[in-house]
Amino acid sequence: MATQCFCAVCIDSADRGVIQNCGKFSGIAQPGCSLVLWPIATVTKVSMMTKQIDVQTNTKTKDNVTVSVTTAIMYHVGAEPTDIEAFFFRLHNPHQQITAYVDDCIRSQVPTMTLDEAFEAKEKLAVEVKAQVAESMKEFGVQIVKALLTDMQPDHSVMAAMNRSALGLLCAVRSRWNAFAACTHACRQGCVPSSLCTSSHLVGHRSCGQP
């Protein structure tokens, strides 16, 4: 008479167990304790927890500016047995697969926008990425929870030019403000005729020569 040996398998609440009999899929073990016929049957755990990957994509905008876009993708395995089966048997590297779909979506959208338009459309891009990646990963039992564009950095030379431009504008505004403040002070002291200092920006004064 053949001897059969049953083995107890414990599955955590955050996992599911893929049961195989002689290598063939036979079912899903739910959280708790399950008995399997060892060594004919094996159980492999699949995590159901939500995971996050950060995808960095390099592409160019419509105005020929190289940008590096960082996208955060949060995903988990679907709760249906068919989802768990598809994830376990059909998907080898979920991170690599998701990265490829995110890259494809970003590189098809950003080149149609200027740099300013891309910055303004970050939320729209995130929605497009989630929709496209979710549709593509559905057949592998993966559900996309959220997609966020967490960073968008232009090329270093463009950033340096933008910083120089912003600094120049700040210096110009500060210089004009200092000149205006000096004129206001001179008007109040009566050193400059009020006709030269009258300004709509002097809050609280009808003209520099008036109290």
Q: pLDDT tens-digit profile of 107-159?
A: 999 999 998 899 999 999 999 999 999 999 999 999 999 999 999 988 766 55
Tokens, residue 176:
């004009």
Region of poorest pLDDT, from 14-28, 33-47, 57-71: 33-47
Average pLDDT over residues 5-12: 81
> Which percentage of the chain shows pLDDT scores above 70?
71
Angstrom distance (rounded) from CA 38 to CA 76: 30
Task: Reply yes or no on whether the pLDDT at 62 is more than 80.
Answer: yes
- Residue 209 above 50 pLDDT? no
Output the CA–CA distances (angstroms, integers) from residue 49 to 25, 143, 177, in the order listed: 22, 11, 57
Whether the Cβ atoms of residue 55 and residue 133 lie closer than 8 Å to each other: no
| The model scores a pTM over 0.75 | no
User: How many percent of the chain have pLDDT more than 90?
Assistant: 57
In this predicted structure, the answer to whether residue 170 has a pLDDT above a threshold of 80 is no
User: What local confidence, expressed as pLDDT, does residue 65 receive?
Assistant: 87
How far is Cα 151 from Cα 156, in angstroms, rounded to an integer? 14
Does the pLDDT of residue 86 top 90, yes or no?
yes
pLDDT at 203 over 50: no
Inform me whether the pLDDT recorded for 205 exceeds 50.
no
**What pLDDT digit, counting tens, does each position of 9-36 carry?**
889 999 999 999 988 999 999 999 888 8
At residue 155, the pLDDT reads 76
Asked if residues 93 and 87 have their Cβ atoms less than 8 Å apart, the reply is no
